Each structure stands twice: as structure tokens, then as C-alpha cells.
């Protein structure tokens, strides 16, 4: 008997007993069995907290990001092995691309996200809050990696993506993971984890794998842990209400299957480009992964006078979809993940047919290419029609997790919104329209019940990733039935695995903790101009106080002629009545340019170039005769990785620019960025 391995506490072990037998979804052949019997889950969680967590949290965001990139490259080089195994789940190569390379893409995406974070194990969250008039008491939110473990209980439909889209986030945050994939397709997850462990890229304890039942694992969760779940709403509710999770206030993120919908706008006519996009989107969402996607379209809403045209067009599109052995290049839809899933889908379809009629497909037979229906878990795409969508709520409550969708009419756009919301909360929705009022009205009113809305039309269709494609930088989740959770979401997702702490203190204390210079904190001054220092030499708080310059009328006039900015406030003495200005005022950008002239060191040195301006405020008018000086302070340092072997080693330095007049008051405040050469010999 072949058994899948469980990677627990740094070693591969097989559970005792026979376990659950796993079969090829296409031909019914035995693959392996999965068992977790005898595994000490309490020890597994302890190992993650004691070994994995310290190993990750001591790394900076940039270290973790480079780790994700290395892992993504390593796995990508071995992707064909995973494709070969994925066929056994019933997935075509196109289906597997979403799962396998989509999962690797999440690693790449979160690796790049490291640039949004400091080169520290923690990060700040939001702006500083000033808490006193004297400016010596401020507050700053800090995000620190939790000291626990992320426990991911995943669904069967995406055995690779489901793991990596979550792990990429918790690893970047500095938290280890225990992954529990759905057993039926866990053989693919296990194959990927074996390669991850073999790579040696992750530190010890960063990843553990459970193939089979989760047993009593949730009995041992603690307040610093995070539990995520993807699957049915009923199972998710059961796990979410686990007494230990409730007792310890363990964060629980749930992403449940939902009755997602697509709406055809009243402005879309048969034969138009938008019509074709609509039909193509429905066909794709019904057949990709054989409809086994939590984001798949389950409800189709169209204007009542388009019903016949739509169901005929969808039926025609579905009839051209070859079903069968996913290894056959001609096949466009494979099987369901197993016989159990097939039985569940048909049971749900039977319930739906009590309230709707079947207009395409068969629940009994399906024509296959290069496959035997008696051995594989194949099913025909099934398009149902419900002429009165308000007659019963069954079509808005019952989900058949396969290639099944129900077509329904609406009378006007407001009614379409009501119908969309009858799903009681969905992961995503799509509206196909070019009408500005329709799209705005739909988003603002249906948005309360959806985690994501796609506005699909000719303007974006060529580049759109489609209705059912969650993207790493956007949140994936939805309210109500969809679970009320959020996954991915770029920086937002990372913060789910971190503790937010409001730190209060002096500007100096906050600077010391955050490693971001705050106004009024102590500074560091020496005889060396900051622009003469290499990136490695610069310290947060390094400061230059410049000599001063008096602004003249000629400066204002010359800058107006040079820039072509002849705005009346700078050039017209006769138009100032009723304005904020006593006399023509110097251009704000002249003040900033003059400030640069005061603080820039002209000689060739470590500063390579001006990288940009992040923020700028002009706080007080500067008139001819005013004298300005600058305080330039090293605010923050951000390393840059070389893109080519011969790249100049460098980093980005943020500088706080404080421009003051002769009274000592701030007239301008800015953060500028420079690219500065590194000197690893320093």
C-alpha cells in the first residue's frame, strides 16, 4: 500500500492504519492512501512556534521576499512534474496552469511586495499621530509578526494555489504554516511540498504538511495562531465555532463557496462585442476546472427580453467544449475531482431541478473523448433556466459545485441588483455593460454583498483576467455566505498575520523603535556632508543644516519665465485683492528647487541620482525679501537588489526636507528620495 507522507516537526512520517484511499479522477485507478492517525498535533504546533516562528521573524521583510522569489524559481523549474500529477485530479493543462503556475505567481508577487516594506522584521502602519501641542509626544502604529503559526485548511479544487496563495502571505509576514489540504487531491500538494523541503530554501519549521484528517489539531491552537479555511460554508461555520478558537480569540479567516453571479447589461445587444464577451465568460466559468471553483458563475442574470437569445448562445458555446481525458490536447474540460464530488454535484442538481428546468446538458450521460465514463468522475455541463427568480429562493441558496449554472431574467437594473444580493454574500460578481450609470449603480448598490466586482466591456476585455481570477494584490473574500474573510490583498493580507501595536512616546523614542526619523527627534551631525556618505554609512537621523538664501523679486520673475508658470499669484500685483496673499508670492516649486540648491553637494560621490519626491507641502507664503534655510535629515533607508550581475550596488534613501524662513517657521516640508551607492567594504 502506497501512503502519502506528512511532514511534521521536520521529518516525513506516514500515519498508521489504512487511511483514506485516493483514486485517479479520470480512470479510477488507485494512487495512494492518506492517514494522519498517530500524529501528535500538539507537538506539531509547538514545533512551529518554537522553531519555525523564531527562524522567520528574525528575518527582515526583504530577506523573506528574496526567499519567496528563490522558492518560486525553484518550483517553476520543476513544474512539468506537477503537471503530470495534476492530470490525475481531472484537470486539463489549462486548469492546472491556474493551480500550479498561478500558485508560483503568488510567490513571485509577494516576493516583489517586499519593496513596500522596510528592511526590518516589522513595519509601521499609517502615519504618525501627534498627541500634544508641544510636539514631544506622538503615537505610531507598529506591526509585529505574531508568535504563533498559520493553520491553513484548504479545499480540494486548487491543491497547489490554495496552499501557496496563503503561505506566500504568512511567510512574508514572518509566520510559519501548517497546511492541511483536502484529502482527495492531497497527493499533488504532497508532491509540491516534497520539492519545497528538498530545496532547503525555507528555514526549519516554516512549513508542515498534513495529508488526511486534521484530527484534534484545533484543540491546541493559541491566541497567537491564525486559522484559515476554504471550503463549504457549513464546514467553515463548524470550525469557526470550535470552543478553543472562541476561548482564545484565535483569528479565523473563512473563504466559503458562494453563488457568484454575472449580469448582462440592458445596453448589450446580441452579436455585439460585449455580448460575445459575456457568453465567453459564462462558458469559461462553467467549464474551467469542470466548474469546481469557489468563484465560478452559478447565477446568470439577463434582461427578460434576452432570455432565449442568451440560453441559445450559451448552449452553442458549451456544445463546442470537448470533454474527456485531460491528457488529450483536444479536451477542454476534464472530470470532477472524484466520484464523491460527482455524487454531491448531482444531488444538488436534483434539488435545483425541483425549481428550474434543464435547457442544456444531461444529468445521465456525457459524450467523452478518450475516456471511459464508467471509470472517471465525468459530468456534462448543465445550464438551468428559472423564469421567475423571485418565486423561490432555492436557486439563490443551493450550489452545485461543478459545471452548473442557472439562467434568470430581470426587468430593470434595480431588480438585477436585488437578485444579485439574494445570494446572501458572494466572492465575486461581473457586470457586462458600457453604460456609465448602470455600472456605477451596480457597484455602489450590489457591492455591499460582494468581495469583488468586475466591470467587463470592450475597454478592458483584452487584458482582463476574467470573472473568476483572484489576484494577489487584491483581497479575495466576501461577506455573508462567502465567509466574511479576506485573503491575499497585498499589504492588507500580510497584516492579518501581524499584531498591531500603538506605540506612544517622544519623537526620539518612536524614531529609535521604528527606524523612521520623526520631526523633532534628536539628530546626528558631523563634518561630513550626508551626500558624501555611502548607503552603508548613513544612519537614520544624519542631518545637514544649510547656509541661507534670500529670495528676490528677480528669483520669482525668472522662475516664472523658466517654468512658464505665470499663475496670477506669482506675477500679477493687481489681482491679489480677496486672496490669501499680500503681494506676489514665490512659486512653491521654486522654494523646493532653491532648497535643493542649498542642500545638494555638487561633487561626484555616492549619490547616483534623484529618485523622486514622495510628499510635499507648502505651509507658508514666501515673499521677496524672505530668507530661507534647510534642515536635511536621513529619514529612512530601503535596500535595492541588483537586477543584473553588473549592476551598481545601491539603495534608496528618503530624506526629510524642512525649509524654514528667518522666523524659524516651516514654509515647506517634503520627502525626497535619492539612489545611493553601497560600499560593502564599509
Chain segment 609-645, per-residue pLDDT in tens: 999 999 999 999 999 999 999 999 999 999 988 888 8
C-alpha cell at 138: 506622538
| Same domain assignment for residues 175 and 234 | yes
- Tell which wins on pLDDT, 53 or 135: 53
Please, which pLDDT band fits residue 83 given cuts at 50, 70 and 90? very high
Instruction: Give me the mean pLDDT over the 162-167 stretch.
Output: 95
Same domain flag for 264 and 251: no
Is 571's pLDDT higher than 90? no
pLDDT band, very low/low/confident/very high, at 513 (cuts 50, 70, 90): very high
490-510, pLDDT tens digit by residue? 999 999 999 999 999 999 999
Asked if pLDDT for residue 682 goes beyond 60, the answer is no
Give the 3-state DSSP-derived string for 535-600, with helices as H, strands as E and coil as C: CCCCCCCEEEECCCEECCHHHHHHHHHHHCCCCHHHHCHHHCCCCCCCCCECCHHHHHHHHHHHHC
If pLDDT is split at 50, 70 and 90, which confidence band does 151 have? very high
Residue 672 burial by CB count (10 A; 0-12/13-18/19+): exposed, middle or buried? buried
Same domain, 429 and 450: yes
Of the listed ranges 271-285, 545-559, 574-588, the one predicted with least confidence: 574-588
- Which range of residues forms the domain containing residue 149? 6-256+492-499
Q: Is residue 477 part of a domain?
A: no
Q: Is residue 209 part of a domain?
A: yes
Mean pLDDT to the nearest integer, 436-464: 94
> Looking at the domain assignment, is residue 145 inside a domain?
yes
pLDDT of 524 above 70? yes
Mean pLDDT of the chain: 93
Which of these is catalytic: 167, 261, 294, 428? Answer: 294
pLDDT attached to residue 17: 85
Classify each residue of 198-213 as buried b or exposed e, where b means 16 or more C-beta atoms within 10 Å of its C-beta. eeebbbebbbbbbbbb
269 and 222 fall within a common domain: no
Q: Is the pLDDT of residue 572 over 90?
A: no
Measured distance CA(223)–CA(403) in Å, rounded: 40
Q: Which CATH number belongs to the domain containing residue 214 in this structure?
A: 3.40.605.10
Do 197 and 317 reside in the same domain of the chain?
no
Q: How far is CA 117 from the centre of its chain?
A: 15
Query: What is the predicted pLDDT for the residue at 582?
Result: 86
Q: Residue 125 pLDDT > 70, yes or no?
A: yes
**588 within some domain:** yes
Judgement on whether residues 35 and 98 belong to the same structural domain of the protein: yes
Determine which one of 255, 399, 487, 658 is catalytic: 255
Predicted confidence band at 663 (pLDDT cuts at 50, 70, 90)? Answer: very high
The model's pLDDT over 292-305, given as tens digits with 9 standing for 90+, comes to 999 999 999 999 99
Residues 205 and 346 in one domain: no
Among candidates 548, 266, 551, 311, which has minimal Cα distance to 412? Answer: 266
Q: Is the pLDDT of residue 233 over 90?
A: no
Q: Are residues 308 and 180 in the same domain?
A: no
Number of domains the chain is built from: 3
In a domain, 478, yes or no: no
How many CB atoms within 10 Å of residue 154? 24
One domain, residues 192 and 110: yes
Residue 479: inside a domain, yes or no? no
* Spatial distance between the Cα atoms of 90 and 179, rounded to a whole number of angstroms: 22
Tell me if 21 is assigned to some domain.
yes
CA 336, CA 378: separation in Å to the nearest integer?
6
Note whether residue 577 is domain-resident: yes
Same domain membership, residue 90 and residue 217: yes
Whose grid coordinates read 489540504? 181
Residue 74: closest CA among 112, 113, 107: 107
Q: What is the mean pLDDT of residues 110-120?
A: 93
Assess whether 428 carries a catalytic annotation: no
Residue 582 annotated among the catalytic residues of the structure: no
Kindly tell me if the per-residue pLDDT of 681 is higher than 70: no
Give yes or no for residue 1 having a pLDDT over 80.
no
Grid cell at residue 336? 470532477
Provide the 10 A C-beta neighbour count for residue 536: 17
Query: 93-112 and 161-173 helices cross at what angle (nearest 10)?
Result: 10
Sign of CA dihedral 608, 612, 618, 621: positive
| Short-list 625, 619, 627, 610, CA closest to 588 | 619
| CATH number assigned to the domain comprising residue 264 | 3.40.309.10
Do residue 546 and residue 404 come from a single domain?
no
Residue 512 and residue 497 in contact, taking contact as beta carbons nearer than 8 Å? no
Pair 251, 330 in one domain: no
Amino acid at each position: 500500500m502506497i501512503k502519502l507522507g506528512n511532514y511534521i516537526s521536520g521529518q516525513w512520517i506516514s500515519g498508521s492504519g489504512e487511511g483514506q484511499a485516493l483514486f485517479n479522477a479520470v480512470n479510477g485507478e488507485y494512487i495512494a492512501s492518506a492517514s494522519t492517525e498517530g500524529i501528535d498535533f500538539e507537538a506539531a504546533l509547538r514545533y512551529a512556534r518554537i522553531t519555525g516562528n523564531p527562524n522567520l521573524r528574525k528575518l527582515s521583510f526583504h530577506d523573506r521576499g528574496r526567499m519567496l522569489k528563490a522558492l518560486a524559481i525553484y518550483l517553476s523549474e520543476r513544474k512539468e512534474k506537477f503537471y503530470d500529477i495534476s492530470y490525475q485530479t481531472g484537470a486539463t493543462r489549462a486548469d492546472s496552469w491556474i493551480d500550479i503556475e498561478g500558485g508560483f505567481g503568488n510567490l513571485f508577487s509577494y516576493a516583489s511586495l517586499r519593496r513596500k516594506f522596510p528592511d526590518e522584521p516589522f513595519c509601521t502602519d499609517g502615519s504618525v499621530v501627534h498627541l500634544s501641542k508641544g510636539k514631544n509626544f506622538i503615537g505610531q502604529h507598529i506591526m509585529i509578526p505574531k508568535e504563533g503559526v498559520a493553520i491553513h485548511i484548504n479545499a480540494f479544487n486548487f491543491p497547489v494555489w490554495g496552499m501557496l496563495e496563503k503561505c506566500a502571505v504568512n511567510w512574508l509576514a514572518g509566520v510559519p504554516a501548517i497546511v492541511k489540504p483536502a484529502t482527495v487531491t492531497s497527493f499533488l500538494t504532497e508532491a509540491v511540498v516534497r520539492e519545497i523541503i528538498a530545496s532547503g530554501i525555507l528555514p526549519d519549521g516554516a512549513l508542515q504538511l498534513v495529508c488526511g484528517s486534521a484530527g484534534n489539531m484545533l484543540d491546541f491552537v493559541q491566541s497567537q495562531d491564525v486559522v484559515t479555511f476554504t471550503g463549504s460554508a457549513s464546514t467553515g461555520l463548524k470550525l469557526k465555532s470550535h470552543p478553543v478558537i472562541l476561548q482564545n480569540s484565535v483569528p479565523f479567516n473563512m473563504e466559503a463557496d458562494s453563488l457568484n453571479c454575472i449580469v448582462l447589461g440592458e445596453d448589450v445587444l446580441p452579436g455585439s462585442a460585449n455580448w460575445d464577451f459575456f457568453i465567453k465568460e459564462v462558458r469559461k466559468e462553467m467549464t474551467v476546472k469542470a466548474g469546481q471553483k469557489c468563484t465560478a458563475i452559478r447565477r446568470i442574470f439577463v434582461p427578460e427580453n434576452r432570455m432565449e437569445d442568451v440560453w441559445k448562445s450559451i448552449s452553442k458555446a458549451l456544445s463546442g467544449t470537448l470533454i474527456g481525458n485531460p491528457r488529450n490536447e483536444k479536451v477542454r474540460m476534464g472530470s470532477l475531482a472524484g466520484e464523491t464530488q460527482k455524487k454531491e454535484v448531482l444531488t444538488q442538481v436534483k434539488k435545483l431541478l425541483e425549481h428550474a428546468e434543464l435547457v442544456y446538458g444531461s444529468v445521465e450521460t456525457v459524450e467523452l473523448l478518450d475516456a471511459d465514463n464508467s471509470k472517471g468522475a465525468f459530468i456534462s455541463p448543465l445550464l438551468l433556466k428559472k423564469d421567475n427568480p423571485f418565486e423561490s429562493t432555492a436557486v439563490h441558496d443551493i450550489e452545485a459545485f461543478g459545471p452548473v449554472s442557472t439562467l434568470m431574467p430581470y426587468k430593470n437594473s434595480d431588480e438585477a441588483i436585488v437578485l444579485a444580493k439574494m445570494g446572501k454574500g458572494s466572492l465575486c460578481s461581473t457586470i457586462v455593460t458600457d453604460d456609465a450609470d448602470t455600472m456605477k449603480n451596480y457597484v455602489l448598490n450590489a457591492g455591499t454583498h460582494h468581495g469583488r466586482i468586475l466591470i467587463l466591456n470592450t475597454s478592458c476585455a483584452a487584458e482582463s483576467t476574467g470573472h473568476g481570477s483572484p489576484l494577489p494584490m487584491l483581497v479575495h473574500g466576501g461577506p455573508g455566505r462567502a465567509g466574511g474573510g479576506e485573503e491575499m490583498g497585498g499589504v492588507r493580507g500580510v497584516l492579518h498575520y501581524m499584531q498591531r501595536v500603538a506605540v506612544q512616546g517622544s519623537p526620539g523614542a518612536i524614531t529609535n523603535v521604528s527606524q523612521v526619523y520623526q520631526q523633532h527627534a534628536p539628530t546626528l551631525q558631523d563634518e561630513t556632508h550626508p551626500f558624501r556618505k555611502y548607503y552603508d554609512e548613513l544612519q537614520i537621523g544624519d542631518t545637514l543644516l544649510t547656509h541661507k538664501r534670500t529670495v528676490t523679486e528677480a528669483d520669482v520673475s525668472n522662475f516664472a519665465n523658466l517654468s512658464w508658470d505665470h499663475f496670477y499669484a506669482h506675477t500679477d500685483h493687481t489681482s491679489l485683492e480677496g486672496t490669501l496673499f499680500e503681494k506676489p508670492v514665490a512659486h512653491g516649486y521654486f522654494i523646493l528647487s532653491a532648497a535643493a540648491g542649498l542642500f545638494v553637494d555638487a561633487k561626484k560621490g555616492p549619490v547616483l541620482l534623484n529618485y523622486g519626491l514622495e510628499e510635499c507641502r507648502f505651509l507658508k507664503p514666501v515673499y521677496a525679501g524672505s530668507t530661507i534655510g534647510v534642515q536635511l535629515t536621513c529619514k529612512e533607508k530601503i535596500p535595492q537588489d541588483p537586477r543584473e550581475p553588473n549592476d551598481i550596488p545601491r539603495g534608496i534613501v528618503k530624506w526629510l526636507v524642512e525649509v524654514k524662513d528667518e522666523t524659524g517657521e516651516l514654509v515647506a516640508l517634503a520627502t525626497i528620495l535619492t539612489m545611493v551607492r553601497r560600499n560593502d567594504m564599509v
